[in-house]
Structure formats: structure tokens, C-alpha cells
Structure 1
Amino acid sequence: MAIFNIIITISFIELLKLIGSLILVYTFQFYYNYYTRPNKLPGPLPLPFIGNTYLYKSDTKSLFTSLREKYGDIYEVYFGGQRRVVISRPDYFEKILISSNKFFKRYPHSKGIEEYGLSGVGIIHNDNLKSWRFNRQSFIRSIMTPEFNNEAIKLTNKIFQELEGYWKSLANVNVNLSNNNLQDNKNDWSLETDLSKWMRRFTNDIIVMVSTGKRSYSMASYYNKLSPIKISRTGTLIEDSEKLLQAFRSYSLNSGYFFILGSFIRQHVPIIKDKVKEILENRNFIMDKFNEIIKNRRKEIEETPIGSELRHDMLTSLITVNTDRDIKKVKVVEEEMSRPMTDKEIGGNLFDILMGGTDTTANLFCFIVYYICHFPQVKQKMLSEIETVFPSKSKFDLKHDDLSKLKYCEAIIKEVNRCTPLVSHFTRYSDSPCEMAGHHWEAGTLFLINLASVYSHKDYWPDPNTFNPDRFYKENKKSEEIEDNNEENNKIRHRYSFAMFGGGLRICPGKKLAMIELLSLMVLLFRNYDVELVDMKMPLKLKSATASACEELMVKIKPRIRE
């Protein structure tokens, strides 16, 4: 109150002078700290208040790539009031990815993380090592079983058949075929559609099923938007699948409000505070939905007689972990690791797999389709491998053992991710002094690993701008050209020059599930359909933040004609 009384006695001109003086003092202090900082690195000049945000044009991948070309393999930028040391050489950041608690945290803890509901739950954003270890152990136990993998493959095949029905129906509606003609022309149709929209809903339907054991119908909802013929589904886990899918997307895209902006700005600045309120309401909608799902499944389990077999889904495993119903009990030394999970912890793990298993897999598969359509020789080699493992004249049976034989398909996945990284960068925070890239860093340093630049670095990849799956493929043939190419790549490649799923403590626990889905999709789509891009000259439409998203991929799909 005293400060307020002083302010109202000051004239407008004097107030402007006072504000100007404060700005000058802040600017002087800002640049004094900048020019006297330890370990001066090259980088763009930051401005007071906004740092280097004036360079940001909504595409972080292009920004960090261009800065690497200008400033080299290690430079610095300032975002959100934090100095970030950007590293683009694996031998510089190898220490970060080696399993060590020193670089466990992704970023410094803040009130924003707590406000957004990310603190101490799940594994992706959890910065409490003890809590993270418990959640990761429970997460891995729930998905790293043969039953889970087999169920994932089975469901992928089943839901893809559902997707085929939607495509066929839309194609026939478009040409106004009658029901009688549908039967006669079951393999004589084509459809132009945005594959990215279908894949996002396809992966969401799968991940909901494998994580909860029950269905959602995101694809059906999207089909109803496109077709005059509406379908209804019963027994769905989520009544409004489309609303939840959009809520996930909004949650992911708006995290910057809580990672970058301060608490005062979020709570008091007009427009921003209204946006924050909307984001938090969206978060509450997601969490309420999760709580309902967990509550209902817990009740079902309690009503099931002990000894009766339960479903092999992630939610069931998380609810029963370290209880009398846990069929996968393991002996642990620490008491904290042997307790049952709380509903909040279960919700955090459920959130992680639904968030991580929907957009990431869908986007990477769209990138795969784009590259395969642009490289006929790669496509033909892929089709030959698929035909060898899954002969067209034999009964089709999608099994994990057969998917593991698709080495060239796996090489395509890796090369696509190298050329168009799904995750272009990630951060690690050290809360204790450390040594990195020949420098000694004080506690509180934030490192940004620029994967996109590593993947195109000439010191590690011969002809890096060329799409060449053979970099990751070794075949048992007497081809000197291929053997020499592999030897050249392996000779210069650093162990972390390709980190598709990260590394160290934070390596993605869902990597096996992701590869199962991607390989299954490649077989199901290209074995049965001819897929072409509607416009071969159209560049890949991307939106790049921490992760890259496919905004649109227009394709023409028609059944393959087999001899």
C-alpha cells in the first residue's frame, strides 16, 4: 500500500523517466552478465527481456540447423530467460546419454511444471528420480511381455481391417456405387485422402486398446465427418474419441505457456491468463477422463475372482502391480519399488503411453510413406522382402517372429527418421557442476542436443542429404558396393550419431511397441495396396517443434492387383 501511495504522487512524465531508468539498469545488468559469462560460446546476440526469441519462426528444427551452420557444433542461445548450450556432435554429448543420474533431468524444476500437472507423475516429464524409477519399472513390466507384443500385433491387424472398410466405403460413395455393385467391384476402387488424418486416429485407436483393453472409435468419428452414410459404435471406452484426441494435441502444443512464461504473466496478463485458463480446463478434461477409466477398470478387477485370468493390457497390469493379483511379481530390495501404484501414478503412465503412442507413430509412418513413394527402387526392394516373409499365395498371418525378419523395412524406418527426425532435439539439465565438450560448466546449465544436425553431419554420414536405407542394412549377398558402403558408414559412425529412441536412463521404453506398429503397418498397407502421392512435387508438409508433425499427406490408394 505504501508503494502504491508513492506511485500515485508521481507525475506521468516522472513515471516514464522512472520506468526508462529501470529499463536502462536492467539492460546494463543483462549485458554485463552476458559479456562476463563463463565459457563464452558463439551464438546470436540475445536481447533484454526476449533473449533470442526474435529468431523463432515456429520451426525449431530449421532454426537450430541454420544456427549450427553459422556458429558450429557448439553454440548458445537464450530462450525463456535460460541460457541453452546447443551441441551437434555425439562425442560432445556422449556423457549425457551414458546412464548417469547427473543428467537425469530434462529441464530445471519450475512452478509451471507443477501447475501443468507434469511434476512427479509418469516418466516423460517426471524429474523426481525415485518416483521416475518406480513408474518406469512398472511401465516396462506392463508392456515388455510376449503377451503384450502379440496382442499389439493382433489389434493392429484387426483395426487395419476396420480402416480398409472405411476407405472402401468412402471410395464407393464417391462414385455413387449401389450396394449391388459393391460386391461385384470389391477390388476395383481408388480413394484420394489425407493419410495423416487417418493415421493419427488409427494409432490412437490402437494405443487406447493396448493400454486399456477397450475400444475407442477415433477412425469411426472421422469417417462420419467425411461420409453421408453414418455408422454408430457401441461399447466404446470413450464416448467422444475425437474430442479426447484433440485435447491431447492441444495439451502437447500449449506446454510452452508453462515452460517459458512466468507465474505472474500466466495469472495476470490479459489474453494470456484467459488462454492459460482454457489450457488448464483442457488438462482437467483429460485427467477426469483418465480417472473415470481407472476407477471403472479397478472395479471390474475387484469383481473378478482371484485366480481368474485378466486381460493383457497395460492398465490392468498397472492396477495389479505388486498386489495379490500380480502374476509377474519380481523380488525387489527397496520397499518403495514393491508397493502398489496410486491412481495418480497410473494416470500419469496411461497419459504417457497415449500421448507418446499416438502422434509419434502416426507422423513417422506418414514420413515413411512419403519417402517410399519418392524412391521406386527402395519401394520395390521393400515389397520383395515383404513378399519373401509373407508370400501372397500363402495364408496371411502377422506374427512377431516374422516381423523381426523385415530387416530392410527396419532400415527404411531408421533412414527416414535420420532424414526427417521425428524428434529434432531434446534437453538435459545438470543441477551439479560438470564437464562437457572440453568446458567446465557450473550447476544449473541446460544442454540442448541438436539431433537434426547430428543426423546430417558430414563427419558421421557420407552424403548425408541422400536417402539411402542401405546405411542401416546388411544383407547376405556378394555385393561389394553394399558391403563397402556399410563398412564406410560403420567406420565413421559414432555410437550416438543415431539415437532414434534416445539413450541412457531416458531411452524410450516404448521403442519395441513403436517398431512393431510401424513394421505391421508397412506390411498391411504396401502388401495389399498401391499407394501414390497425389502431387509428387509437393514437399512434405511439416510442423516442427520439439517433435515434427505431418500436417497433410494426400495419397491415392487402390487395391493391388496380384497375378
Structure 2
Amino acid sequence: MFLHKYFENLSFVDYFHLVALFFLFYVIQFYYKYFTRPNKLPGPLPLPIIECAYCFRGDLKQLFISLNKKYGDIYEIQLGGRRRIVLSSPEFVEKFFSTKRAIFMPRAPFSQGMKELFKSGKGLASINVGNLIVNFLPEQSYHPILIMKQLNANSDGEEWALETDFSKWFHRFTHEMIVVSTTGERCYSMGSYYNTLSPIKAPYPDALVEDSDRFVKGINQLIAGTGLFAFLPPFVRHYVPFIRGKANEILKDRDFIFEKLDKIIKKRRQEIEVIQNEDLKNDMLTSSIIANTKRDVNYKKIVEEIFPPMTDIEIRANILEAFFAGTDTTANLFSFVTYYLCHYPEVKQKMLAEIDSIFSQNSSFQLIYSDLSKLKYCEAIIKEVERILPVANIVARYPSEPIEVGGYQWPADTQFQIDLATIHRHKNYWTNPEIFDPDRFFLDNKSESYLNVKNDDLKDDHNEKENQKIGQKYSFIMFGGGIRICPGRKLAMIEVLSLMVYVFGKYNVELIDIEAPLKTKSSLITSCQELMVKIKPRNL
């Protein structure tokens, strides 16, 4: 009551002075905490409220590259109300990726923004591809290449050609692949893209095609918006006009995606209840539903008591995580592979020779994992593209115990950001790091020879040699490492290798403008914005 009367008697000037006083206290506390922090590292000076966001110019990868050049291989930056230690040298990441030494570390602490975005769902994809036959390619009757071949080839057998945007195409292509392989359900995203190319429309209901197209775009929006919810406080997301509008758009896409996934999960649960003696579908969705239940072939009652069956929210998070990893990142990686192959014809010819030696080009072939595993040079190309232009820009770790990194003792709950773009081009561990050279990963297929370490820089001291050995091992971390290594890494390699065989083995792909720079946008991942190509049949 007393405070109420007090504020009633305040004038506008009094309110202004009160706000200014509170802000002054905030600034004093902010900088006191900053200047008394332990293990002071170089880095940009944070400002009140916006912290180090003023350094960001729209490209997260370039931000880390520029900060590395200015502050070195270990520095700090403050974003989202948290001090972040950025590691840009292979020797610093061993404790996070070594299976022997790394504890199970989450990627980040609790985030109110991430809880708001994903409704508390936490996913941990569990994909085991084994010795499978790669039968998850989308329905080929509406494959753009085959359709345009039919539309363009005349009665005289004149050679056809297609000009298209590979980035848009393969975002939908990989989306269909991951939907089929994780849920066993049909998707019509290729049909939606086909309708934009062809005057003859795919014979699917418009609602199915539109929903599939919206689903793909929604997945891309969720991935792009993760940084907004992870780094910005609730006040900014909810009340700053431009950011509030963007956040609301992302939440609408999220609600649409969640609604579709919930329907798929509910439908599959009903199917499993009906099917008693028949074999269940062999996909991630079914495995998630029956895990730790009596329908699970590995069922044990004691396990069920400790780890009860997953809820629909947990299953949805698993499927969504698989979509994130299997759609956007795979499509971007294959677009980057295409870009570099078109710029390095000698590499492309060597790749084609390997593909032709394993897969017959005069007949339709079945992509089998055992055959794909023989494509060592193709795999080397993928790894070199990922080295020189990684799709993921940062890997985060949040140790729950004290840890020593970079010669400093860090308390538990310190946020570390591992800068992949800089590590993959570190001049101390890679010879000519700016040069595209798949032979780094191919050299007679000898173990770890692909790292191409500058051995002449090694010193005689035993500790220096040991540090160099550690750096050599972790100078390429395409899928992370240790306990938290990417569970879908085998599937990702199978997808990209399959696309290389299927596209480059049958067709000649060229960039429409060889001089045009690669159009990318970098946030948590680097996305290909456009890749215009010309496609025609290979002359075998």
C-alpha cells in the first residue's frame, strides 16, 4: 500500500530518474561481473543488454573467423547472457571428443528460449543402418530429371537439357529420403517442386503437395530460427517489433510441423496395437514407440522400470532431430559437393571413374551399402568439401564437472563453443589449407593419412609430439566424436554417396555460371541459398 501511494506521487521526471538509477546499477553490476571473471581471455568487450551482438554482421561463420584472426585460438565472447569460450585449435578439443576422457556433456545449459521453441522436447536420434539396401529414394516417376527428359526429348531423339536450382531441388529430395527412412510414410515435397518446373502437374491432391512444401520450408525456418531463441532473451523476442514478428512466424511453422508429426505418431501407435502377429515396420518411428515395451525384441522388465517407454513428445523430438540432421545439412553438403566438382574437373573425372568401376552404367542399378562402401574416393571428396566448407559452424559442449582446457581450470557449467570452420583450416595441422584436395583423405586409404599433418613442424620434445598427435586426430571432426558423436553419421554418408552415384553416374552436371560465387548464408549451419546448374545425360 505504501509503495502504491509512493509511485502515485511521482512525476515523469521522477520516473525517468528512477529508471536511470536502475539502469546505472545494472551497468555497474554487469561490468563488475565482467572484470572480476576468472581466467580472463581476450575477446570483444560486451556492452550492456546487447552484449557482443554488435560484432555480428549476419554471417556467424565469418564472425568466428574474424575473431580468431584478432584474438587467437582461444578467446571469449558473451551472447545470450552467457560467457562462451571459443576454441579454434584441434589440441583444445580432445577432452570433449575423446571416448576415453570425455564425460557425457550436454550441448548447452537449460534455455527458456529453446524450451519455448520445442515445447520441452529433447531428442536423441538413434539410427543403425547396418548392412541395408538403400531403397529410400523418393518415387522416381516424379523425379525432375526423368520428367524433364520426357518433356524435352522429341521424336528424333534430340538430346535434352534441364536448368534448375540444385539447392531447392535437393532440400526436397533429402526431405523425402529422411521422411521415408525414419517414419515409413510417404511425402510429396518432390511433387511440389516438380509442379514448379513442369506444365504437366503431378496427380496428387493440392492439399498434400502444399502441406509437403510448407513442411520443408517450416523445417528450414526452425533451423534458421534456433539461434534467435537460443541467444535472445524473452523480452526481446516478445516485445521488439521486428524480432517479435519473426519469432511468431517461426512458432507458427513449429505448430504446423508438430501437428503433422503428432498425427503420424498417433496413427502408427494405432497400427501397432492392431498388428499382433505380423512383422512391424522397420523404421525409427516404430522402434521409438515399442522401445522398452513387450513388443521390443530386447525387452527386459528391469530395463522398462528404469527407462519407461517414450512419450509422444519425446518421440516427436527424436523424429524432428532426425529431420534437422537428415534434410537441411545433407542437402547443403551435396550442393557444396556439386559446386566443387564443377570447379575441379580432374577431381570429377577421377570420381566418375570410381563410380563406373563399381556400378554398371548400361542398366538400372540397385544401391547396396556394401557397394557404396567401396567408393573411397567419393568419400574423400565428401570429407574434403566438409573440411573446406563445413555445414555446421560450431559444436557446443557444457561440462557438468570442472575441466582443464587450454591451460586453464574451468568450473562446471562453462559454455564452450568449438569453431569448426577455423579448426578444419588450421595452418598448423593442414598443408595448404585453402586448397581443395581430396587426396588428403584418400592417400592409399591408410589410417589417418588423410589428415596431411605438417610433420616437419614437429619438435623433439615428447610433450610437443603428444600434443601434435592429439591435434592431428581432432583437426577434422565432421561428425563430432566420443560419446556424443553424431548417431546418424552412417546414414548421412549413405545419402550423399547415393546421390553422387545416382546423379553424377547418370548425368552431366555443370554450373550455369562458373564464375558466380557460391551463395551461402551462415548461422548455426551454412546453407546454400542457390545453385543454378545445367543437367544433361552423360555420354557413356
TM, length-normalised to structure 1: 0.86
Aligned residue number for residue 200 of structure 1: 171
Counterparts in 2 of 1:406 and 1:235: CA distance versus 1, 3 Å: farther
Asked if 2 retains the 8 angstrom alpha-carbon contact of 1:215 and 1:236, the reply is no
Asked if 2 retains the 8 angstrom alpha-carbon contact of 1:471 and 1:489, the reply is no
User: Does 1:310 pair with 2:274?
Assistant: no
Counterparts in 2 of 1:200 and 1:12: CA distance versus 1, 3 Å: same
Aligned residue number for residue 162 of structure 2: 191
Shift of 1:257: 3.7
Aligned residue number for residue 111 of structure 2: 110
Shift of 1:320: 2.4
Distance (Å, rounded) in 2 between the aligned partners of 1:271 and 1:421: 30
| Corresponding residue to 2:261 among 281, 290, 305 | 290
Shift of 1:255: 2.2
1:524-548 CA distances to partner (integer Å, 9 max, x unpaired)? 1111111100111111111111111
Shift of 1:287: 1.4
Shift of 1:555: 0.4
| Corresponding residue to 1:539 among 512, 517, 523 | 517
Distance (Å, rounded) in 1 between the aligned partners of 2:450 and 2:234: 52
Shift of 1:234: 6.7
Identify the range of structure 1 (370-379 vs 431-440) with the bigger mean alpha-carbon deviation.
431-440
Aligned residue number for residue 154 of structure 1: 135
Distance (Å, rounded) in 2 between the aligned partners of 1:337 and 1:521: 41
Aligned residue number for residue 247 of structure 1: 218
Distance (Å, rounded) in 2 between the aligned partners of 1:258 and 1:550: 22
1:164-201 CA distances to partner (integer Å, 9 max, x unpaired)? 4x23444665xxx6xxx64553x710011101000000
Asked if 2 retains the 8 angstrom alpha-carbon contact of 1:215 and 1:237, the reply is no
| Corresponding residue to 1:340 among 309, 317, 331 | 309
Counterparts in 2 of 1:532 and 1:4: CA distance versus 1, 3 Å: farther
Shift of 1:120: 5.0
Asked if 1 retains the 8 angstrom alpha-carbon contact of 2:332 and 2:391, the reply is yes
Aligned residue number for residue 129 of structure 1: none
User: Does 1:417 pair with 2:383?
Assistant: no
User: Does 1:219 pair with 2:183?
Assistant: no
Asked if 1 retains the 8 angstrom alpha-carbon contact of 2:520 and 2:527, the reply is yes
Distance (Å, rounded) in 2 between the aligned partners of 1:239 and 1:301: 29
For residue 326 of structure 2, give the secondary structure of its aligned residue in structure 1: helix
Identify the range of structure 1 (408-417 vs 47-56) with the bigger mean alpha-carbon deviation.
47-56
| Corresponding residue to 2:487 among 499, 509, 528 | 509
For residue 113 of structure 1, give the secondary structure of its aligned residue in structure 2: helix
User: Does 1:43 pair with 2:25?
Assistant: no
User: Does 1:15 pair with 2:22?
Assistant: no
User: Does 1:365 pair with 2:334?
Assistant: yes
Distance (Å, rounded) in 2 between the aligned partners of 1:109 and 1:86: 19
Q: Which amino acid aligns with 2:533?
A: V
Shift of 1:420: 0.2
Shift of 1:345: 1.9
User: Does 1:325 pair with 2:295?
Assistant: yes
- Structure 2 counterparts to residues 47-62 of structure 1, below 5 A: 47-62=47-62
Distance (Å, rounded) in 2 between the aligned partners of 1:171 and 1:512: 32
1:133-179 CA distances to partner (integer Å, 9 max, x unpaired)? xxx5xx24xx3443xx32xx1222x54x3454x23444665xxx6xx
Q: Which amino acid aligns with 1:197?
A: K
Aligned residue number for residue 469 of structure 1: 438
User: Does 1:556 pair with 2:525?
Assistant: no
Q: Which amino acid aligns with 2:267?
A: N
Q: Which amino acid aligns with 1:155?
A: F
Counterparts in 2 of 1:475 and 1:391: CA distance versus 1, 3 Å: farther
Asked if 2 retains the 8 angstrom alpha-carbon contact of 1:74 and 1:86, the reply is yes
Asked if 2 retains the 8 angstrom alpha-carbon contact of 1:103 and 1:429, the reply is no
Shift of 1:389: 1.0
Distance (Å, rounded) in 2 between the aligned partners of 1:257 and 1:399: 41
Counterparts in 2 of 1:27 and 1:121: CA distance versus 1, 3 Å: closer
Asked if 2 retains the 8 angstrom alpha-carbon contact of 1:474 and 1:483, the reply is no
For residue 444 of structure 2, give the secondary structure of its aligned residue in structure 1: coil
- Structure 2 counterparts to residues 75-86 of structure 1, below 5 A: 75-86=75-86
Shift of 1:253: 1.7
Distance (Å, rounded) in 1 between the aligned partners of 2:450 and 2:219: 41
For residue 412 of structure 2, give the secondary structure of its aligned residue in structure 1: coil
Asked if 1 retains the 8 angstrom alpha-carbon contact of 2:441 and 2:449, the reply is no
Distance (Å, rounded) in 1 between the aligned partners of 2:430 and 2:64: 19
Identity of aligned residues (%): 47
User: Does 1:98 pair with 2:98?
Assistant: yes
Structure 2 runs not aligned, ≥5 long: 456-467
Aligned residue number for residue 406 of structure 1: 375
For residue 318 of structure 1, give the secondary structure of its aligned residue in structure 2: helix
Distance (Å, rounded) in 2 between the aligned partners of 1:392 and 1:63: 45
Asked if 2 retains the 8 angstrom alpha-carbon contact of 1:168 and 1:189, the reply is no
Distance (Å, rounded) in 2 between the aligned partners of 1:236 and 1:145: 36
Counterparts in 2 of 1:419 and 1:217: CA distance versus 1, 3 Å: same
Aligned residue number for residue 230 of structure 2: 259
Q: Which amino acid aligns with 1:445?
A: T
Distance (Å, rounded) in 2 between the aligned partners of 1:377 and 1:434: 46
CA RMSD in angstroms comes to 2.8
Structure 1 runs not aligned, ≥5 long: 124-135, 477-481
| Corresponding residue to 1:209 among 180, 194, 198 | 180
Asked if 2 retains the 8 angstrom alpha-carbon contact of 1:373 and 1:533, the reply is yes
For residue 135 of structure 2, give the secondary structure of its aligned residue in structure 1: helix
Distance (Å, rounded) in 2 between the aligned partners of 1:172 and 1:489: 50
- How many residues align? The count is 525
For residue 397 of structure 2, give the secondary structure of its aligned residue in structure 1: strand
For residue 535 of structure 2, give the secondary structure of its aligned residue in structure 1: strand
Identify the range of structure 1 (443-452 vs 374-383) with the bigger mean alpha-carbon deviation.
443-452
Aligned residue number for residue 320 of structure 2: 351
Shift of 1:317: 2.0
Shift of 1:433: 2.6
User: Does 1:500 pair with 2:478?
Assistant: yes
Counterparts in 2 of 1:270 and 1:523: CA distance versus 1, 3 Å: closer
